[in-house]
Structure 1
Amino acid sequence: MTAQPSSPRQTHPHRRSSGRRTLRGVILVAVAICVGLTPAVQAHATPSPEEIEAQLDKQWEQLEPVIEQYNKVHNGLVKNRKKAAELERKIKPLAQQVDGALDRIGGLAAKNYKLGPVAEAAALVSGDDRATLTERLTMLNYLAGQEHEQIADVFAVKSKYDEEKAKLDTLISQQARQDAELAGKKKKIDSEIKRLERLRETAGGTFTIDVGECPPVTVTGKAAIAVRTACEQLGDPYVWGAVGPNSFDCSGLTQYAWKAAGIHLTHFTGDQWKETRSVSRAEARAGDLVFFFEDLHHVGIYLGNGKLVHASRAGQPVKVASIEYMPLAGFRRVA
């Protein structure tokens, strides 16, 4: 009997098996190459602590303006709510005066009505003295006129306060919405800050932060008090929105330092710029405020010789630094 030729089914499995072995070999080689490369890639991708600090500085330039905007809106909201409460206290007694005057006028009108034509006719019939009746009517009209004058003055003042209160209420409503929106952004900012701080931790090892040392105070009076107070906070942590006594943001530190000297500054860099007067770099002395960036979103207290003390950013304590570290916007004299 003649032998039958081998069928394709008998030959293909061997070829596929061989092909699979070849493919598997290629994959294993590729994996080996990738595994061999991975440590080198990771080692290259892990930045040094100094590089991470530079990244933090760059990220912070984008975050701090939002923080100062929140300070602006929130402080404005607090101020306007106080103004609205003061106006409300002024309006309340005026409203009571108006209501009282209206009641008196109403009473006079009722008397005048009773002493009208019917009463006059009755007086003629009864023979009463008509002159007496006329005098009484004249007196009532005179008293009513006085009440009208008084109520007109009171009402004018009340109307003025009501108008101011209405404007404030509208502004407060707008600021409350902005405050809520920025408070929402606060959560995102806090989350971003934590992410950046975790990034620093991935660098490993230790990264010490030199807070520096304040030089001897060369000024006197209130400026000296402000400088000493600011320097006493060296090493305190940065917390945005904080105004002391144990943590600060940038405008919170300058406010705290000058408050110790008896001068109030608003907790917002833009307002602090407006609340002070300009001095040139050559005129600048210890205690002056130093502002940075075009939008004035950072401020510190000048120490002289190109140095300042400031609450720099999250992850960095209050420290002494060079004014050349950031784009300088100008110097301002507080007192």
Structure 2
Amino acid sequence: MSNVIQKDREARFAMANDFNPEKIKIGFLRAQMRSIKDEINLLGMDSRFCYGMLTHYTNLQGLVGIVESGGYWLSDIRFLNDAKEFEHGRELAQELIDKLITRPRHKPFEAILQELKVALNKPIQEPYFIASFSRDPDSLEQWRAYASGSDGVAIVFENTPGVDNPFICEPRMHSSRAIYDEDKKKRLVLNAISRFSIEYKKELLQNKQSFSCFSDQWAQHLLGVLTNAFITFKHHAFRTENEVRVVTSFGQICRSQGRVSHRVRAGRIVPYVSSTLFYGDLSARRPLPLREVIVGPVAAQSITIESVKAFLANSGYADVPVRPSSIPYRG
């Protein structure tokens, strides 16, 4: 399987490098494509596809729901703790814009930057929905944060290339590694703004009198690029979580003719959607790529393990191993 993943990485990287943005006639779309290439060059292709083992920490009820439905929930980021990280991204962008506006080379782009600042201060027009996974399948910090109590489990999936991939259904849903490094966050924001500024100046020099020169169009497309980056930003104090996020937007949910559901959690109502919305014909799909289930450090661990084994066997996953966490229980 490692050869398949390597070949897929090489093919995608070649496509990204071979693609010529100059073929795109509209300036802000060229800037958008150049920003994506900059992101790949800065973070690597793995940041976009996150192949390998992905672990979701949850409880027994979550395990039952995922196995029986064949999917997992993506929740509105506005009502999760991660919303603070999204706000951090907006604050970082505004801080950098204030510095860039004073520089002569960005003078022609000043009107767009001002519009962008206004847009960054407004509530998110198109909510984003995320599901969180980790590269670490047996982490004490993860158990404490996301699977505490008497029934915590870690579900380990294998994310591999293919049409049946439950983590990448582009353009409707994609996976991204969380970014903890502050320097990389700044570089992503600066690279995007610089790309748009350069392409805008090209448009002005060519005297193009078309909608592509309208400042609101440029500001909105630049906002979209930055928002996609903010979704992946996370405070460096949480870097040991080694998080991978599966992301979609309300617009993609609507285009897939989906319906948002709601649940009550921690004193708030959280909108969510099932990943199965993006899978197409479920009857033609293979089972979920479960590789193992780890039962957390709890008192009645052996009984919980046997119950999970029985459940998986009854659900068509008899070959999926179930093991105890290597972390000792302390009651």
TM-score grouping bracket, smaller chain normalisation: under 0.3
**Greater relative contact order structure (CA < 8 Å, 6+ sep):** 2
Normalised TM-score (structure 1): 0.24
Structure with the bigger percentage of helix: 1
Structure whose alpha-carbon radius of gyration is higher: 1
Normalised TM-score (structure 2): 0.24
